[in-house]
Amino acid sequence: MGALEGIKILDLSRLAPGPYCTMLLGDMGADVLLIEQAGEGSDRRRNPVGGAAATEAQQRQLAYNALGRNKRSLGLNLKTEAARAIFMELAREADVIVEGFRPGVVKRLGVDYGAVAAINPGVVYLSLSGFGQTGPYAQLVGHDINYISIGGALGVTGRPGQPPSIPMNLVADFAGGGLFAAFAIVTALMSKQRTGQGQYIDMAMSDGVLSLLTSAAASVLAGARAPLPGAHMLNGAAPHYNTYECADGEWFSIGSLEPWFWDNLCKAMGREDFQPYEYDQSKHPEIAAHFTAEFRKKTREEWFSYLSQWDICAAPVLRLDEALADPHNRARGMVVEVDHPTLGKVAQVGVAPKLSGTPGEARSTAPYPGQHTDDVLRGMGRSDEQIAALRANGAIG
């Protein structure tokens, strides 16, 4: 039994942050029903239409899409009155609704929090957007790179005198957006257990990014200078919290901040005379030069084998394909196999939180858009004739 078993979620989101949020909740047992635009679901999800018409390559693309796992899909054209009526019927029994449209869209469609709460006051309704539902930037479009710019994260990455380093779409989309949204939903559900009342959640990815910078922001708010790219101990200024190129062209990371780790690092690198100078920035260029020269004498794996014998914070910098094959990540269950009806076993990233009593699980691969439309509607009491009529009128897909 999953920790969130019995929680019913309607997912109106499209791009990565919302689907990641509901994937996390689905992994923990929640019943996630995707509400996909009839006729457009495949484009919106960047996935091919499934079913008999799909090629094997298209089926594989869909099957390996972990963001869609543990979910069902209902195709609705919410611009039609009939589809809105179906949605509201489902919303009456829903515990959670997640939407990721631009501010104001769900209001125009008639499926906003106010409309749903009028018939289901216990609903937890989350709107996930780039800049939130209020504020001067609310109506601006954007992507992860824009949200980490406004949130302050991009301004602290990179090396001095060089352009900011763009960290894929991890910080805003997945951490500041999807992960924060899942946390907010579970928090609101716990509140509902005590009060019986649902609530509205306005989750802005730019807010999430700034929250992730809480520690650094605390120093700035207290009067310290804002960290610049490559100028802070934790973003590249310290020789003992940095990366070094090895003899094979691969890279290795060192994170030995604490004094005892620093002392061991100096011993391992053959320079115990550096031990008094961990925080002496005037000596950092000399220390970094020594480390740079030394790391070029061995391969990445040789350094890992050697430094693993010391009590030092050190690890190889892995590419994603290497991380997926890494024995530790495999031993931790961070690559799992999920059954697919035609492709057999497909590999996906595993579940990060390891709950002892109610562990999460990747139970099913992503559905193709609208795959469960008929099943859902039959479960709502619609006859096959009524379903056919709804499809003919363009209300469902």
* 230 in any annotated domain: no
* 356 in any annotated domain: yes
| 15 CB-side CA count, 13 A | 15
Q: Does 273 lie in the same domain as 182?
A: no
Reading the block at residue 173, the tokens are 């989309």
Q: What tens digit of pLDDT does each residue of 50-104 get?
A: 555 577 788 889 999 999 999 999 999 999 999 999 999 999 999 999 999 999 9
* 35 in any annotated domain: yes
Give the mean pLDDT of 303-322: 97
Give the mean pLDDT of 222-230: 94
* 305 in any annotated domain: yes
- pLDDT, residue 140, reads 96
The identity of residue 363, as a single letter, is: R
Q: Residue holding tokens 């910098």?
A: 317
Quote the percentage of the chain above a pLDDT of 70.
96
Instruction: Please identify, among 281, 316, 351, the residue that sits at the C-terminal boundary of a domain.
Output: 316
Strand (E) or helix (H) holding 377: helix 373-379
Q: Does 285 lie in the same domain as 146?
A: no
Distance in angstroms (rounded) separating the CA atoms of residues 313 and 213: 22
Residue spans of beta strands (DSSP E) within the chain: 8-11, 31-37, 71-76, 96-99, 124-129, 199-204, 241-245, 251-255, 314-316, 335-340, 344-349
CATH number at residue 103: 3.40.50.10540
* 40 in any annotated domain: yes
Q: Strand, helix or coil at 203?
A: strand
Distance in angstroms (rounded) separating the CA atoms of residues 32 and 369: 14
Q: Does 174 lie in the same domain as 37?
A: yes
* pLDDT surpassing 50 at residue 41: no
CATH number at residue 305: 3.30.1540.10
If one compares 116 and 37, the residue with the highest pLDDT of the two is: 116
Q: What tens digit of pLDDT does each residue of 251-286 get?
A: 999 999 999 999 999 999 999 999 999 999 999 999
Q: Residue holding tokens 């363009």?
A: 394
Contact assessment for residue 107 and residue 185, using Cβ atoms and an 8 Å cutoff: no
- pLDDT, residue 127, reads 98
Burial 276-305 (b: 16+ CB within 10 A, else e): ebbeeeeebeebbebbeebbeebbbeebee
- pLDDT, residue 47, reads 45
Give the closest residue to 85 by CA, choosing from 96, 77, 95. Answer: 77
Q: Does 341 lie in the same domain as 208?
A: yes
- pLDDT, residue 58, reads 84
Q: Does 51 lie in the same domain as 112?
A: yes
Q: Does 304 lie in the same domain as 381?
A: no
Q: Does 291 lie in the same domain as 173?
A: no
Contact assessment for residue 95 and residue 4, using Cβ atoms and an 8 Å cutoff: no
* 231 in any annotated domain: no
* 218 in any annotated domain: no
How big is the chain, counted in residues? 397
Give the mean pLDDT of 345-352: 97
Q: Does 378 lie in the same domain as 260?
A: no
Give the mean pLDDT of 318-323: 98
pLDDT band at 45 (very low <50, low <70, confident <90, very high): very low
Q: Does 139 lie in the same domain as 279?
A: no
* 235 in any annotated domain: no
Give the closest residue to 17 by CA, choosing from 170, 189, 149. Answer: 170
pLDDT band at 154 (very low <50, low <70, confident <90, very high): very high
- pLDDT, residue 104, reads 96
Q: Does 335 lie in the same domain as 310?
A: no
Gyration radius from the chain CA atoms: 25
Instruction: Please identify, among 316, 345, 371, the residue that sits at the C-terminal boundary of a domain.
Output: 316
- pLDDT, residue 52, reads 53
Counting the structural domains of the chain, the total is: 2
Distance in angstroms (rounded) separating the CA atoms of residues 368 and 48: 8
Instruction: Please identify, among 316, 344, 366, the residue that sits at the C-terminal boundary of a domain.
Output: 316
Range of the domain at 297: 241-245+251-316
Active-site amino acid positions:
143, 173
Q: Does 368 lie in the same domain as 261?
A: no
- pLDDT, residue 39, reads 58
Distance in angstroms (rounded) separating the CA atoms of residues 250 and 312: 19
- pLDDT, residue 50, reads 58
Q: What is the DSSP string of 134-156?
A: SSTTTT----HHHHHHHHTSGGG
Q: What is the DSSP string of 51-86?
A: STTS-HHHHHHHHT-GGGTTEEEEEE-TTSHHHHHH
If one compares 1 and 99, the residue with the highest pLDDT of the two is: 99
The identity of residue 249, as a single letter, is: G
Contact assessment for residue 185 and residue 96, using Cβ atoms and an 8 Å cutoff: yes
Q: Does 175 lie in the same domain as 48?
A: yes
| Widest Cα–Cα separation across the chain | 84
